[in-house]
Amino acid sequence: MSGETAYRPRRSVLYMPSSNERALEKAKALPVDGLILDLEDAVAPDHKEAARENACAAARSGEYGQREVTIRVNGAGTRWHDDDLAAACAAGPDGIVVPKVDSADEVLGLVAAMERHGAPERTRLWAMVETPRSVLAVSEIASASPRLAVLVIGTNDLVKELGARHVPGREPLVTALSLALLAARRAGVAILDGVYNDVRDLEGFEAECRQGRDLGFDGKTLIHPGQVEPCNAVFAPSTEEVAQARGIVAAWDAGAGTGVVTYEGRMVEHLHVEIARQVIATDEAIRARG
Ligand SMILES: CC(C)(COP(=O)(O)OP(=O)(O)OC[C@H]1O[C@@H](n2cnc3c(N)ncnc32)[C@H](O)[C@@H]1OP(=O)(O)O)[C@@H](O)C(=O)NCCC(=O)NCCSC(=O)C[C@H](O)C(=O)O
Ligand SMILES: [Mg+2]
């Protein structure tokens, strides 16, 4: 199995409790790039089985259009994990999200279990980085298997485990976020930022989206429909950035054969052209979604 090649927008990926049928229905019309149908923390123990059935039915339904549909199973060691994993593999979503993946060996065990349960090749593993152990092993986790496509940061669990606090600017988390980003880029996998808990505070939310984007995240995980559009806007290249990118590529092509040109007074080398082409490709992929 090879890693992903084509760019896939993952600006906004929305969690929803799979026990909430209204939310599952509502998601079919949200302009979100991806969904995490949750069986873990957002679902009370008494509702786990029903939530599993709902999530698998949703993943099978084909009613979510281009949105990437994933199922978050309960963690290894819980009494639901094995049944969740078997049912999710049979349903064949785009991804299976596993919480608290702490080592490369765990990744290999999960991949082996996915194969045993007959998960289709398109079903990728998304590993959550949300414990001190996972942060310290993140480089090995990210490159453990080509089936692993996405790292997802779990900032609520990380804050809990660190004994830290949720503060504007997230200073207590920046080291962990940066280590995970380095690991994801080295391994060539995507990486999603954690959630923002105050669904009424759009200003604070947008500031955190911008911080995640500037650090290098592909997108952010969300918990409420009201967070989707502002998040998409922050993680998409702006009109000005796309115009700049086109200008850089045109200046480079006009100076064909020279190793360095200038655009609007700034030096442009091959690496800047690669960045510009990536911006244009991202913009085109987002536009293709309509
Ligand atoms: C946070 C919420 C509990 C807020 O719920 P509520 O007060 O009911 O919101 P609203 O009344 O504003 O809802 C308006 C309508 O939107 C629908 N809705 C709400 N949330 C979602 C959603 N996530 N997806 C789809 N639709 C949603 C409501 O059903 C209303 O619809 P209608 O009745 O038709 O008007 C709630 O938003 C929520 O449950 N969010 C998700 C929580 C969740 O999944 N948490 C788990 C992951 S977070 C995490 O911990 C990550 C990681 O593990 C870590 O450690 O950090
Ligand atoms: Mg968590």
Cα 166 to middle of ligand 2, angstroms: 14
What pLDDT is stored for residue 94 in this prediction? Answer: 98
**Element containing residue 142 per DSSP (H, E):** helix 138-142
CA 68, CA 246: separation in Å to the nearest integer?
A: 29
Angle separating helix axes 239-254 and 270-288, nearest 10 degrees: 130
Q: Which of 20, 224, 228, 231 to mutate to test the pocket of ligand 1 (most atoms within 8 A of CB)?
A: 224
Burial classification of residue 136, based on how many CB atoms lie within 10 Å of its CB (0-12 exposed, 13-18 middle, 19 or more buried): middle
Evaluate whether 223 touches 195 at the Cβ level (below 8 Å).
yes
Integer-rounded Cα Rg, in Å, for the chain is: 20
Interface ipTM above 0.90 = yes
Reduced to 3 states (helix: H, G, I; strand: E, B; else coil), residue 268 is strand
Q: How far is the CA of 130 from the centre of ligand 2 (A)?
A: 6
* pLDDT above 50: residue 2: no
Q: Is 14 in the pocket of ligand 1 (CB under 6 A)?
A: yes
Amino acid identity for residue 212 in this structure: G
- Residue 98: both structure tokens together: 């596993």
The answer to whether 263 and 251 have CB atoms below 8 angstroms apart is yes
Domain ranges of the chain: 12-235, 239-288
Residue 101 CA to ligand 2 center (angstroms) comes to: 11
Q: Is-above-0.80 flag for pTM?
A: yes
pLDDT digits (tens, 9 = 90+) for 61-80: 999 999 999 999 999 999 99
The percent of residues above 70 in pLDDT, for the chain, comes to 98
CATH topology of domain 12-235: TIM Barrel (3.20.20)
Query: For residue 150, which of 103, 191, 100 has the smallest C-alpha distance?
Result: 191
Given a contact cutoff of 8 angstroms between Cβ atoms, the answer to whether 205 and 170 are in contact is no
For 79-89, how does the pLDDT look when each residue is reduced to its tens digit (9 = 90+)?
Answer: 999 999 999 99
Residue 209 has pLDDT above 70, yes or no: yes
Assess contact for 180 and 153: CB atoms under 8 A: yes
CA–centroid distance, residue 16 to ligand 1 (Å)? 6
Task: Residue 96: name the closest of 130, 65, 134, 56 by CA.
Answer: 56
Ligand 1 contact via 166 beta carbon (within 6 Å): no
Instruction: Please say if the pLDDT value at position 19 is more than 80.
Output: yes
Residue nearest atom 51 of ligand 1, based on CA coordinates: 154
Average pLDDT over residues 36-44: 97
Provide the pLDDT confidence category of residue 258 given band limits of 50, 70 and 90.
confident
Q: Tell me the residue type at 274.
A: E
pLDDT at 6: 72
